Amino acid sequence: MTGKGRALDNIIIERFWRTIKYEEILIKEYLDEHELKHQLKKYFYFYNFEREHQSLGYKTPAEVYYNLSNFK
């Protein structure tokens, strides 16, 4: 990271958190921080193992990272 244009240095993380915000956090109501934590854990599993990503050729991050051709 250069420190200049930090948004560009962190673009992947910025997009990741924007996705979580719009697909999980803003559309639900949580009773407390423990429920939020539990739901985020479930969402992270979904995001990495079930949700297909256009930028990955409609594969999941787990399929790409672990090189799993027949993951599903």
Q: Is residue 71 part of a domain?
A: no
Q: What is the pLDDT of residue 72?
A: 54
Q: Is residue 32 part of a domain?
A: yes
For residue 17, how many C-alpha atoms fall within 13 Å in the half-sphere facing its CB?
Answer: 5
13 — pLDDT class (breaks 50, 70, 90): confident
- Cα–Cα distance between 6 and 41 in angstroms, integer? 27
Q: Is residue 58 part of a domain?
A: yes
Domain containing residue 21: 6-65
For residues 25 and 37, the answer to whether their CB atoms sit within 8 Å is no
> pLDDT for 27-71, tens place per residue?
999 999 999 999 999 999 999 999 999 989 999 999 999 887 655
